[in-house]
Structures are given as structure tokens and as C-alpha cells.
Structure 1
Amino acid sequence: MRGTPQHSDRPGPRRPLWVEEPARRPRLPDPVREAAVRAVLIVAVTLVLAVTAFLLTMAGSWLAFPMVLFAVAGTVVATWAVLDVWVTRQVWVQRGGVISTPRSTARALRRERRRARREAKAAARAEARMRRRGGSEQLSHP
């Protein structure tokens, strides 16, 4: 079959179907991701409840009142779930999500404060020693 083109007859290199790119942001930690999935599901169910309550109210059905109550309760639970995502993320960051290394300027400031404290303590000790001895270490002429 000379007239039919074969796949190998195509000119040029074969391109892959997709090219994997590195993620722009790192993946969320497992506890935060679990809380986020839970919150999305709860918010989705709450929206369905709210739309159902609205449609039943427009239709004048007796089910409208219970559905409105469920929609209000769902709103409270959904708010709680979204806050849970935020709190879980904050706790994760504070406990171990971020490794904090002091900057060189902070290190220098701490070193300076320690040196000033040591000098102040040494001066206070010398002052106390002079007071105990009655000032005998002072020179009569400055």
C-alpha cells in the first residue's frame, strides 16, 4: 500500500501530548486539604438546600418552612467549616509548616542586646562591690 501515508512517514519529531510544569505553589498540608474538602462539600450542600427552600417557597409548598430551617442550619455549619479551614491552616503554619531562621540583622541585634545586658550587670556588680566596701576603691583625685 504505497499510496496511504503511514504514521512513521510524518516529518519532524513527535511532540508529547502534554508537558509537565512544576507547581506554582506547594501542595497544601493534609489536615488543611481535608478541612478544605469538607468545607467545599458542606457549602455545596448548603447551596442546594437554599435553592430548594427558595423554589419550594415560590411554589407555596408546605415543605418550604422545614427547608428554610435546614438552609439556615446549613449556613451556620458552612460558616463553621470555612473557619475551620482558616484555623487549621494557621495552626499548621505555627506548629511546623514554616521553618523560621533568624536573619543576620536579627542575630546581630540579639548579640548587641546580650552584650549590653552583660555590661549593665557587670557595672551593677561593680557598683554593689564599691558600696559594700564603703567606697575604698575610689581614688581621692580624679
Structure 2
Amino acid sequence: MDRDRGSLWIEEPVGRPRMPDPVRTAAVRAALVLSVTLVETVVTLLFALSGSWLAFPALLCTVASTVAATWGVLDVWVTRQVWNQRHGVVSVPSSTAREVRRARARPAAR
């Protein structure tokens, strides 16, 4: 292997910045709950097809997990909205959040 041609690791610019930590944490939590829900759904289906008595308790657990997964997705959405509102992330130039940030910065500059 010829190492004179460059390093093995090449940094490439990302199209958008990474998510804030609270939003990323909520997204990971939601993804884990969703994956468990999908596994429970498959297990419930297999129990039902085999005629096992465990099909009904598994169905109840799957319904509860579906509610939890919905809650997790809503948690990601609400956490993202709260983060944007508290930290003044703006999407248009005439945003009031930008004006508030400028007003806070003016006294500090004097």
C-alpha cells in the first residue's frame, strides 16, 4: 500500500448541519421504540398464524408499543420545535427571532 498519495480519511462537507443533541437523543429513542414495535408485530403475526395462545397477549403488547412509538415520534417533533423556538433558528430573513438576537447583542457591544 502506497501511503504517499494521501490519507485514508477524507473529510467531505455535509449538506446540512447535524441535529442538536436533544433532538438527536429523541430521534434515537424513537427509532429504538419503532424497531421493537416492528419486531413485536412480526412475532404477533407468527403467533397468530401458528394458533398459539400467546397471540392475544402479544397483540396487547404490540398495541401498547404502537402507542409508545407514536408518542416517540411526537416527542421528536415537539423537541425539534422547542429547540428551534428557544435558540432562535430562523428560516426567513425578516424573522423576529433574529431581531431579538440583534437587540440582545447591541448592549453587549457597547
**TM-score normalised to structure 2 length:** 0.76
Which residue among 5, 14, 17 is the counterpart of 1:23?
A: 14
Root-mean-square deviation (CA), in Å?
Answer: 1.9
Q: Confirm or deny that 1:101 pairs with 2:92.
A: no
3-state secondary structure, aligned to 2:98: coil
Range that drifts further, 92-101 or 73-82: 92-101
Q: Aligned pair in 2 of structure 1 residues 65, 45: CA closer, same or farther (>3 Å)?
A: same
**TM-score normalised to structure 1 length:** 0.60
Q: Which residue of 2 aligns with 1:82?
A: 73
Inter-partner Cα distance in structure 1 for 2:43 and 2:88: 41
Q: Show the 5 A alignment for 1:17-56.
A: 17-56=8-47
Q: Aligned pair in 2 of structure 1 residues 94, 68: CA closer, same or farther (>3 Å)?
A: same
Identity level (%): 61
Of Structure 1 and Structure 2, the greater helix share is in 2
Structure 1 position 97, deviation (Å): 4.5
User: AA paired with 2:52?
Assistant: S
3-state secondary structure, aligned to 2:87: helix
**1:95-136 deviations in Å (ceiling 9; x for gaps):** 11416325xxxxxxxxxxxxxxxxxxxxxxxxxxxxxxxxxx
Inter-partner Cα distance in structure 1 for 2:76 and 2:27: 6
Q: State the structure with bigger RCO (CA 8 A, min sep 6), 1 or 2.
A: 2
Aligned pairs, number:
93
Please say if residues 88 and 98 of structure 2, whose CA atoms lie closer than 8 Å, have aligned partners that are also in contact. no
Moved over 2 A (4+): 15-18, 99-102
3-state secondary structure, aligned to 1:101: helix
